[in-house]
Structure 1
Amino acid sequence: MQSALYERTYWANSIRAFYPAQRYLLPCSQVIGPEKLGNDKNTRKGARKARQWRSRSCNSRRNGVRAMPCSSSGTTSGGGGGGVGGDENGSLRCLKLNEATFLASLMPKKEIGADRFIESHPEYDGRGVLIAIFDSGVDPAAAGLQVTSDGKPKILDVIDCTGSGDVDTSKVVKADADGCILGASGASLVVNPSWENPSGEWHVGYKLVYDLFTDSLASRVKRERKKKWDENNQEEIAKAMKQLDEFNQKHINPEDINLKKVREDLQSRIDLLRKQADSYDDKGPVIDAVVWHDGKLWRAALDTQSLEEEPDCGKLANFIPLANYRMERKFGVFSKLDACTFVLNVYDEGNVLSIVTDCSPHGTHVAGIATAFHLKEPLLNGVAPGAQLISCKIGDSRLGSMETGTGLTRALIAAVEHKCDLINMSYGEPTLLPDYGRFVDLVNEVVNKHRLIFVSSAGNSGPALSTVGAPGGTTSSIIGVGAYVSPAMAAGAHCVVEPPSEGLEYTWSSRGPTADGDLGVCVSAPGGAVAPVPTWTLQKRMLMNGTSMASPSACGGIALLISALKAQGIPVSPYSVRKALENTSVPVGESLADKLSTGQGLMQVDKAHEYMQQCRSIPCVCYEIKINQCGKATPTLRGIYLREAIACQQPTEWTVQVEPRFHEGASNLEELVPFEECIELHSSEKAVVRTPEYLLLTHNGRSFNIVVDPTKLSHGLHYFEVCGIDCKAPWRGAVFRIPITITKPMSVNNRPPIVSFPKLSFLPGHIERRYIEVPYGASWVEANMLTSGFDTTRRFFVDTVQV
């Protein structure tokens, strides 16, 4: 079996209260007995990542493994208000919520300094900033997503980049003398005589409506239709039974063969009605679509009679024709039953009609966190209420809302064509190779050439290390965001009885480093909110949490920053904005290793703005780090990551190449040639990481060597940094960082191989990490836990990761 490290992570939660104040003591032992070990010859030697979860419900004495402050599943969380005795980022020690602070905690802005910034600069609330939302689709009818704070349209375009709502309308028909056309479904349709159609050509197509609905919406509509159908069917059964009873009363013992046939026919009718109730299968209503050119624009109309109960409702002639959303910004609703909003876009000279609906509430919720504006409820505004947005649906309804490469590529093209300032993508999944692939290449082009700032979620697979997802946590040109929870959020949005005294990273928020040593998480932002959701959910707002919520919170904060920079004439660059966020963030946690969870910390909009004002004359440049181990033919890395026991047995030397990168189109004579920086190199722990003192850096880059000596480190997690500081402007902070992560495992030399960790003490949200060198020949492990000191049921989690 290939040698690997197992990371054990424990954290606790209370069933009775979210954050119980009492500290509990857990004598915990993990036993690997000789009879439990085996040589599994079928074990895959090349498995890149195998996750093993074990969860048990824990009563007063025994049990195993699992708990966390908040779940990252479908319902949300949010927060951000202030309270008595509060500090600037929501770490409230004597928390008391009134109505105002409770509402503010539902849409957290205080934690990242957004409320302070808007209070000081109300005109820089996102105005002049356009954000592309790469997600499941945004409902233009959702609460707070109609206009900006200065009265402009909130949503400028709604696009289905997946093609899941496309209708083939290549068939062309002409109307008869009565104004009727034959629809693609075979239905006869009457067009409205007031519709202008100089050519007289009507493009027709059809779509099953359930193909446009989410699973939950389709289930609700099916239930309602089934209920109505059952009522009608029961009425028909009652009528048939009444007719049979009347016949039997009139003809008690009919001898005539014709009367017998009538009686059999009545009975068969009842049997058939009852039988069809058992075989009921609702394939869904059919929507006929008609597309034409009115001499100026392509327009489309839908016939939705099959969705309506009233015979005169939903007729094609009664439909108000729609043009492409970006032209007139109008939308429709299929019916009162579904309350589902849709947008129509016509492509390919009328041969394709795109019916755009969302494939989950996720995208609307994300858009609301970033930009929602409520005139009468300002505390529920999004982070940047003045910003505008375009919706790029990348979640394919046919694939359960999963994104595709084609959809992502189309979304990037749309963002560039609309000249967006920001992209938010709260999507992602694990990847085999970090910072690699066609989509990564396209993102690099969008960021480096077109200067769009790309923000994305880091993932919800924590708390184990190396769980950041792609693209947010693994791509250098993307700002990956982790999820933070403040006491105000815990008390207000999560309804916790006893909130924590200080803010912390959600335990499920993914952690770095990446497989090639990069930090993974850039910054953190509030990871929950009560935000708008689509109208078909039959509610205005919903509680959700996840790094999917942290990303738009950060994106909205960056929109405030861009709004100010544009108004003040300060150049906006993804490089300088990222550096401002990283060097002004508030650290979360007590140790340097917490950066693997939180990135550089909790972002602060107002501090980043001050930083950017000072940096207006600094060249817009990023620093690409390439690392190779001396004397070994290893892939180029972005950081140093020592996991195996053999890597910690002796010092290693590494070559670091630092290459300044300018945006495409930078002037050779005005920007590249004059660039020169005197860099002072700082090691966070010189006894472990030895570096040169200074480095003269020019446009062509420079290399230097560093030595990492883990031999004297104790077992466990260790994190160090080498920071490059501009000697002429040390106030800039680190212009580049080299992350060094060491997980030094403990060896198991005794036989049988037993490892014990006695008397571990836990609070909810607390994480203990243990690293064990896998004994020779072992292919699996058994963990036992013994607990004490509980008066109610508790849950504990063990999270193990093999890389």
Structure 2
Amino acid sequence: MQFKEYGAWALLVVLTAGACARPGAESQQPAPTDAAEPEEDTTEEPAPRRRSEPSVEPRIANLVGLMPLSSTGADEFLREHPAFDGRGVLIGILDSGLDLGLPGLDETTTGEPKVLDVRDFSREGRIELELITVTGDTLSFGGQTLSGFGQVAGLASPPYYAGIFRELPLGTVPAADLNGNNNNTDEFVMLVVRTVSGWALITDVDNDGRLDDEAPIHDYSVASERFSYGLKDEERDKGLMTIAVNFSEVDGRPVLDLFFDNSAHGSHVAGIAAGHNMFGRKGFNGVAPGAQILAIKISNNARGGLSVTGSMLRAMNYAADYAQQRGMPLILNMSFGVGNESEGEAAIDSLVTEFALKHPDVLFVISAGNEGPGISTIGFPGSAEHILSVCALYPGVFSGSRPAGLAIDADVIADFSARGGETAKPDVCAPGVAFSNVPRWNLGGEISAGTSMAAPQIAGAAALLQSARLQANRAARATDLRQALIASARRYRHATFLDMGAGVPNVNAAHEWLVAGHQAGVYSIRAQPDGGNTSLLEGAYRRNGLASPADTLQRFVIRSVAGQPAARFLLRSDQRWLRAPEVLELSGGPATVEVTYNTRRLRTPGLYVGTVYATPASDTLAGPAFRLINTIVVPRTLNQPFVEGRDLGPGRFQRYFFAVPEDAGGLTVEMEVRYRTQRGSLFLFEPSGQPFRGGGSEEAGRESRVVRIEVRGEDLIPGVYEAVVVAPDNSALSYDIRAALPRYTVDQIGTGPSAVIRKRANVPELIQDAAVFQRSNDSSANTDDVRVTATDIGAVTTITVSGTGDTPKLLPVAVPEWTREMIVDVRLPDGAWNQLTDFGLTLFDSAGAQIDIGPLSFGFGRHEFELARRYRGKTLQLEFFPGYAHLQPPPSWQAEVTIYLIARTPAKLDAAGGDTTAIILDPGESTGLQFLPPETRAMPDGFVPLIEVVAMPAGGAPMRRWGRLN
């Protein structure tokens, strides 16, 4: 399951003390027709320059608190209880791997090995081995010759096996440059022999062409051995990438997997959770420096951090078995996740929930996802039950200067942090930015942001609590650790449960909860299909508003799932519009709670979130045992263009919901910051909660005070869209937002080319000050005409791609010389996304070198591939790579793939019947327009011209549509 993270921009904040917002997506609109094509730089891109020092001197980073431990009180807890530092606890890092050569990941506070074992379930480091025969002192294999084999023969008798470890499949430089020579085309011979200690690897680590100066490297679990290329054995921990070895057997033959971190994500996460004396600085620690680590690689990093088929499930089970065999309490951390397409139906959620119930002594901590700030964006498996789903804060220490009266250490909710909806998630929040370990090839990338960084904060906090309980000879159950953290959490006053869950935990308070002897139950909650509720999970969710004035009742069914005794709960609502009974009696079977809504308090457009808290009557000091979450959206109809001005404080956000009918033809949302010194971000989310596929965010205030997001006709999905305006974390924002449906629509693009233009029925009266989207430099805004233009912007094709099992599928694409970029839409069949944990999309050149990655986050994905000059006129390869939740993939899969080739120079088309700039229609009336055919371009087989038609009224929102000329 691929991860997202936000790194370089966070570093910029620290160095410039400026505000920071998530980068906006680039617009997909083609260049203006009359724009001159810019001259191109035809030189080859140089290899990325490798840094030799961290982005911030580690001493300074530690001094100023760039490993933010104070938000959860972890630093205070460790000062008061230095021995409760995680010792005795095992943290499983299910991630991209881990670099074993990093200071901070070598030993614990008590001198024990930090990393007990490493396993690779991703197959990215799998080396295909062949049985070989060697005579004499020379080994010849894979086009390479290595001397010194005689000493190997003296160490181990036949059989001998050999394979090739290639840099090219590992991605791009610098991650794929194993020996530091600034390319990714090297190949290394891997010789496998059997020694008295088991299978061992011998490889030419120092690149001198000899094997007689190399030591055998065994499975990491045997001797904790590892190596780095380009270095002598005594300097093995100073290489760009440190590699360990895993061996297994099939029918007596060795199976070799190499364990490494060519992403840096897993190393960064591990440092946050349990780093000790990182960067060689005494006292520069993660949350639980005394804990030990089990590092399990689940992702193919070169393809964008893709979890592969069954890797999550294998990793979970391996970790649980490993901890059980050694009698160690286990905390699992998985900082991975993709978007939920239909909450409650993902296979991996069911597997994780089943695992949590089967292993009541294992606490599973999972990142909530980075698709925020819209609601209904929690990713799976962060939406699984009985785990801790973690959202992200943006720590104040990374924000630079702040207005007078606002503390420098004030944290805000990170805009990227996913929000709940159908799920009663997230559970808790923690800092989602940190300065932590990265492999040496990634020096300069020490600061990263995402819920990936928040989850290990909570995993580390849980290890502190479990360490304290172990030393009291009272190991805590996972459900008690979970509930202690939730009970200790406090939510920001302006935030809802959807934003932060219970809030930010406090480790000391959680410790006191456990010491007090409180115990938590395990309950399953399901909102019933009442009224407008569309949720299948714990939260009642009415995104389309109340189904009718009579939609006032919502039922929840509560079940005890861990054999707990009968219990009595006191129920309390936190909203005046939400009422619940005072008491719930829960005994052997399920119980139903009926809550009611006061619809008179639910009339103003906006978001309403109400929670019913259920507290054990026998232990009210324990806090709520569970919560019943109710979410109701009251959308705006946009019968008139919407205009609002508002002020937001630092880090605050404002939501707007717009009901868009099926015949709307498009949607335009615009945000303008009032002062050039300010900045702000505009986000748009589709009715499903997915970020708008055409580019879900824009930032205003740098290059322009006004940003606009347009939903083209073919991209429109009927339902309730959500727009969110977010202020920078360290400064206020004054802004105006405008939203409107188009008065005129482009209903279709046909042969010829032709277009059908329609004026929507029941359009609002055109009023000068209400027509908020005017044609630029147009003095005729008091007329109701529409200007229609058509442009040949490139070529398009749609094909069905089929594959077998989980085997990657390659699709060749011939790219004409005239191409500027390639846009690829991938649409999976209904329900297919729920069986996956990932679906990779990667572009390669003809030699197999990676150009770019665009893994899917939902069952529909769109990615823009910018094409450098050297790729034009060539045949490139698109790779599709599914990863399934279960151990075995289905026999086959398919996807609908649309490929857009966008021209560097769009060509405006003349109207066949004359001028098209003054069309006037009555409401509901439509007309057809014919355009002269475009000039012939060189088209790849199967492609047809791609036409864009734009209807720009004198007053009102514009509308555009892309279509194919068949």
When normalised by structure 1's length, the TM-score is 0.73
Q: Which moved more, 1:196-205 or 1:547-556?
A: 196-205
1:799 to 684, 690, 703: 684
Query: Hey, what does 2:318 align to over in structure 1?
Result: 414
Q: Would the aligned equivalents of 2:17 and 2:399 in 1 still touch at CA under 8 Å?
A: no
**Could you tell me which amino acid in structure 1 is paired with residue 107 of structure 2?**
V
For 1:383 and 1:431, how far apart are their aligned partners in 2?
30
1:425-462 deviation line (CA, Å, top 9, x unaligned):
11111122324343223322332112311111111121
Query: Hey, what does 2:466 align to over in structure 1?
Result: 562
For 1:103 and 1:14, how far apart are their aligned partners in 2?
13
Identity in percent = 27
Q: 1:409–1:791: structure 2 CA closer, same or farther, 3 Å change rule?
A: closer
Q: Which moved more, 1:117-126 or 1:433-442?
A: 433-442
Q: 1:718–1:625: structure 2 CA closer, same or farther, 3 Å change rule?
A: same
Q: Would the aligned equivalents of 1:343 and 1:356 in 2 still touch at CA under 8 Å?
A: yes
**Could you tell me which amino acid in structure 1 is paired with residue 521 of structure 2?**
V
For 2:154 and 2:331, how far apart are their aligned partners in 1?
39
Post-superposition shift, 1:304? Answer: 4.9
1:303 to 204, 212, 216: 204
1:622 to 508, 514, 522: 522
Query: Hey, what does 2:437 align to over in structure 1?
Result: 532
Secondary structure of the corresponding residue to residue 601 of structure 2: coil
Query: Hey, what does 1:747 align to over in structure 2?
Result: 637
Post-superposition shift, 1:160? Answer: 1.4
The 5-angstrom pairing of residues 663-674 of structure 1 reads 672=564
Q: 1:633–1:122: structure 2 CA closer, same or farther, 3 Å change rule?
A: closer
For 1:15 and 1:385, how far apart are their aligned partners in 2?
28
Is 1:730 aligned with 2:642? no
Post-superposition shift, 1:499? Answer: 6.5
Post-superposition shift, 1:718? Answer: 1.2
**Could you tell me which amino acid in structure 2 is paired with residue 506 of structure 1?**
A
Q: Which has the higher strand share?
A: 2
Which sections of structure 2, spanning at least 5 residues, go unmatched? Answer: 1-12, 30-50, 232-237, 324-328, 689-966
For 1:530 and 1:632, how far apart are their aligned partners in 2?
45
Q: Would the aligned equivalents of 1:471 and 1:478 in 2 still touch at CA under 8 Å?
A: no
Q: Would the aligned equivalents of 1:129 and 1:562 in 2 still touch at CA under 8 Å?
A: yes
Is 1:293 aligned with 2:175? no
1:179-209 deviation line (CA, Å, top 9, x unaligned):
4444355635432527765643212222223
Q: Which has the larger radius of gyration?
A: 1
For 1:210 and 1:782, how far apart are their aligned partners in 2?
43
Query: Hey, what does 2:508 align to over in structure 1?
Result: 606
Q: Would the aligned equivalents of 1:333 and 1:342 in 2 still touch at CA under 8 Å?
A: yes
The 5-angstrom pairing of residues 205-224 of structure 1 reads 205-212=163-170, 215-218=173-176, 224=182
Query: Hey, what does 2:185 align to over in structure 1?
Result: 284
Query: Hey, what does 1:450 align to over in structure 2?
Result: 359
The 5-angstrom pairing of residues 301-340 of structure 1 reads 301-304=202-205, 308=207, 313=208, 315-336=210-231, 339-340=240-241
Post-superposition shift, 1:651? Answer: 3.2
Q: Would the aligned equivalents of 2:339 and 2:379 in 1 still touch at CA under 8 Å?
A: yes
Q: Would the aligned equivalents of 1:468 and 1:510 in 2 still touch at CA under 8 Å?
A: yes
For 1:563 and 1:747, how far apart are their aligned partners in 2?
54
Query: Hey, what does 1:597 align to over in structure 2?
Result: 499
Post-superposition shift, 1:556? Answer: 0.7
Secondary structure of the corresponding residue to residue 128 of structure 1: coil
1:138-180 deviation line (CA, Å, top 9, x unaligned):
001112000000000001112211111111224143x43x444
Query: Hey, what does 1:507 align to over in structure 2?
Result: 415
Is 1:656 aligned with 2:556? yes
Q: 1:794–1:111: structure 2 CA closer, same or farther, 3 Å change rule?
A: closer
**Could you tell me which amino acid in structure 2 is paired with residue 692 of structure 1?**
P
For 1:732 and 1:407, how far apart are their aligned partners in 2?
37
1:6-27 deviation line (CA, Å, top 9, x unaligned):
xxxxxxx99986359xxxxxxx
Is 1:370 aligned with 2:330? no
**Could you tell me which amino acid in structure 1 is paired with residue 115 of structure 2?**
I
Q: 1:466–1:635: structure 2 CA closer, same or farther, 3 Å change rule?
A: closer
1:779-799 deviation line (CA, Å, top 9, x unaligned):
3122344543x2536344243
Q: 1:379–1:287: structure 2 CA closer, same or farther, 3 Å change rule?
A: same
Query: Hey, what does 2:86 align to over in structure 1?
Result: 126
For 1:377 and 1:16, how far apart are their aligned partners in 2?
25
Q: Would the aligned equivalents of 1:426 and 1:456 in 2 still touch at CA under 8 Å?
A: yes
Post-superposition shift, 1:359? Answer: 2.5
For 2:580 and 2:458, how far apart are their aligned partners in 1?
34
Is 1:462 aligned with 2:372? yes
RMSD of Structure 2 on Structure 1 (CA): 3.4
Query: Hey, what does 2:104 align to over in structure 1?
Result: 144
Q: Would the aligned equivalents of 1:55 and 1:798 in 2 still touch at CA under 8 Å?
A: no
For 2:170 and 2:321, how far apart are their aligned partners in 1?
27
Post-superposition shift, 1:381? Answer: 0.4
Query: Hey, what does 2:841 align to over in structure 1?
Result: none
Secondary structure of the corresponding residue to residue 558 of structure 1: helix
1:358-390 deviation line (CA, Å, top 9, x unaligned):
121111000001111118634420100001111
For 1:221 and 1:100, how far apart are their aligned partners in 2?
30
**Could you tell me which amino acid in structure 2 is paired with residue 368 of structure 1?**
G
Q: Would the aligned equivalents of 1:435 and 1:476 in 2 still touch at CA under 8 Å?
A: no
Secondary structure of the corresponding residue to residue 586 of structure 2: strand
Post-superposition shift, 1:524? Answer: 0.5
**Could you tell me which amino acid in structure 1 is paired with residue 351 of structure 2?**
L
Secondary structure of the corresponding residue to residue 582 of structure 1: helix
Secondary structure of the corresponding residue to residue 108 of structure 2: coil
1:681 to 571, 584, 594: 571
Q: Would the aligned equivalents of 2:394 and 2:412 in 1 still touch at CA under 8 Å?
A: yes
Q: 1:661–1:497: structure 2 CA closer, same or farther, 3 Å change rule?
A: same
Q: 1:457–1:215: structure 2 CA closer, same or farther, 3 Å change rule?
A: farther
The 5-angstrom pairing of residues 117-516 of structure 1 reads 117-173=77-133, 175-176=134-135, 178-183=136-141, 185=143, 187=145, 189-191=147-149, 193=151, 197=155, 199-212=157-170, 215-218=173-176, 224=182, 284-304=185-205, 308=207, 313=208, 315-336=210-231, 339-348=240-249, 349-374=252-277, 377-419=281-323, 421-451=330-360, 452-472=362-382, 474-491=383-400, 502-513=410-421
Query: Hey, what does 2:949 align to over in structure 1?
Result: none
**Could you tell me which amino acid in structure 2 is paired with residue 755 of structure 1?**
F
**Could you tell me which amino acid in structure 2 is paired with residue 207 of structure 1?**
F
For 1:486 and 1:384, how far apart are their aligned partners in 2?
19
1:712-753 deviation line (CA, Å, top 9, x unaligned):
32221111111111112110111110001111113344xxx3
Q: Which has the higher helix share?
A: 1
Is 1:580 aligned with 2:484? yes
Q: Which moved more, 1:391-400 or 1:182-191?
A: 182-191
Post-superposition shift, 1:762? Answer: 3.0
Q: 1:341–1:526: structure 2 CA closer, same or farther, 3 Å change rule?
A: same
**Could you tell me which amino acid in structure 2 is paired with residue 153 of structure 1?**
P
For 1:502 and 1:106, how far apart are their aligned partners in 2?
14
Post-superposition shift, 1:99? Answer: 8.2
Query: Hey, what does 1:94 align to over in structure 2?
Result: none
Post-superposition shift, 1:421? Answer: 0.5
For 2:616 and 2:405, how far apart are their aligned partners in 1?
47
2:643 to 756, 762, 766: 756
Secondary structure of the corresponding residue to residue 333 of structure 1: coil
For 1:152 and 1:110, how far apart are their aligned partners in 2?
26
Q: Would the aligned equivalents of 1:129 and 1:559 in 2 still touch at CA under 8 Å?
A: yes
For 2:139 and 2:607, how far apart are their aligned partners in 1?
72
For 1:797 and 1:412, how far apart are their aligned partners in 2?
38
Q: 1:186–1:775: structure 2 CA closer, same or farther, 3 Å change rule?
A: closer
Q: Would the aligned equivalents of 1:447 and 1:477 in 2 still touch at CA under 8 Å?
A: yes
For 1:762 and 1:648, how far apart are their aligned partners in 2?
33
When normalised by structure 2's length, the TM-score is 0.61
Q: 1:119–1:301: structure 2 CA closer, same or farther, 3 Å change rule?
A: same
For 1:534 and 1:744, how far apart are their aligned partners in 2?
48
Q: 1:645–1:285: structure 2 CA closer, same or farther, 3 Å change rule?
A: closer
2:601 to 701, 712, 715: 712
